[in-house]
Amino acid sequence: MSSVLIIDGQRLPIPDDIAQDDNSIRRALGPMFTQLANGSITRAIAEDKTVEITVTKQAGRKGYQEILHSLDCQPHHINPAVAFAFQLHQRFDLSDPTSLTQIMTHQQIIEEAIQAGTNELNTVATIFKRLLFSAATHAHAVPISF
């Protein structure tokens, strides 16, 4: 029985030993058709007894895995301004006017925490903008397992 791969509207005859299972198709044709990596593969037998193997593209992440992994591996911490505000709430009763007077004695520390928190917020916003507006680029090599 002959086999035909249908991908992006193209009908490509393929040898039966490659058509026998999905992994064989992905290994043999993956370097030429990258959509095979995440694509859905279905089989049907046509009227002429040809096995039609159809590849349907699946949405997936494209190139972000390393960035997300790198971000996930970074040490987690709380913005300095938020951490300091939490400390103040724990140390002082903010509804008590005498506590507010005591807090004001820490004005220099408050200013430094606000500045550090603002700097961190600006850095994160800049990184976010760069990621959001970065242009797509092509891969320089075929990833392993394609």
**What are the pLDDT digits (tens) for 115-136?**
988 998 898 889 888 888 877 7
Residues in the chain, how many? 146
pLDDT in tens, 7-35: 888 898 999 888 888 888 888 888 887 77
Give the predicted TM-score (pTM) of the model: 0.41
Segment holding 132, helix H or strand E? helix 107-133
pLDDT at 101 (0 to 100): 80
Residues 6+ apart with CB under 8 A from 80: 113, 116, 117, 120
pLDDT in tens, 49-95: 899 999 888 765 555 667 777 777 778 878 888 888 888 888 888 77
pLDDT at 144 (0 to 100): 62
In the chain, domain spans: 3-56, 65-133
pLDDT at 142 (0 to 100): 64
C-alpha 143/C-alpha 65 separation (Å) is 12
Q: DSSP label at 145?
A: T
Q: Which amino acid is at 51?
A: V
How far apart are the two ends of the chain, measured CA to CA in Å? 27
pLDDT: is 33 or 42 the higher one? Answer: 42
Helices (H), 7-106: 16-19, 22-29, 65-73, 80-91, 97-104
What radius of gyration, in Å, describes the C-alpha atoms of the chain?
29
Q: Please report where in the chains the tokens 């928190």 appear, as a residue.
A: 117
Reply yes or no on whether the pLDDT at 140 is more than 70: no
pLDDT at 74 (0 to 100): 77
pLDDT at 62 (0 to 100): 54
pLDDT at 91 (0 to 100): 84
